[in-house]
Structure 1
Amino acid sequence: MAAAPLLLLLLLVPVPLLPLLAQGPGGALGNRHAVYWNSSNQHLRREGYTVQVNVNDYLDIYCPHYNSSGVGPGAGPGPGGGAEQYVLYMVSRAGYRTCNASQGFKRWECNRPHAPHSPIKFSEKFQRYSAFSLGYEFHAGQEYYYICE
């Protein structure tokens, strides 16, 4: 398998002394962390990229994007001459270390590099419980790994 961008996510959740203090101004909304998932993002090379998040934070993954005119900024193809497209997987630590997607499950497909207007964005909310039946539940102090093919 060719080298692909890697991302290591570490979910760190501080334990507040008083639960009400944890919900201070904006506390329930969380912060947003953006990752541009493409070959030009130097953070995603070699040992991967670690993002530390808290409960209620979001991770926004921006897929590769090229304008459809083929001219100007954002018009160029990825390495090898073609538009970059990836399938992103959440994997175990072993799957991450060996870049083996079969040790995990598919999360998203970045398969529309010429989407109109802007890149496709996927958002992951780091929450203990998900109201959505297909939502993922994250646990404090755990590490979560993403790789792509």
Structure 2
Amino acid sequence: MSSVKVAVRVRPFNSREIQLLSKCVIDMSDKETYITSSSNQTYSFEFDFSYSSFDKEAVDYASQEKVYTDIGVEMLDHAFDGYNVCIFAYGQTGSGKSYTMMGKVNDLEEMGMIPRLCRDLLVELVKTERISNSTIL
């Protein structure tokens, strides 16, 4: 595990962007993110993870589960191995940080990173408690 991993995620258009007939200028392929400027120049950037959640019907659509499986599961494993872990979302207002981190808490498919981490943390603690016949307070 590296000390720091960087992931980027593209959200779908909001109602305002749809109404304005906005054009998506971001493409993603594996770890590569491509941004096309208004002058049609393309810039590429490489990250540890590049997620496209722009179109739910797309083959490469990144669901909440996909993002959690790639990032959250490893973090939880390292936490149980005794390492300190931290996850945070950074970006412009309306860019999808809250959705990625929290999602819709009462919807298993739309649940974000934090509720999934808490769920799996508690599941693992219950397993550990059963195996060791101890009580976790």
Structure 2 length as normaliser, TM-score? 0.28
Higher relative contact order, structure no. (Cα contacts within 8 Å, ≥ 6 residues apart): 1
More helix by share: 2
Indicate the structure (1 or 2) with the bigger Cα radius of gyration. 2
More strand by share: 1
Structure 1 length as normaliser, TM-score? 0.27
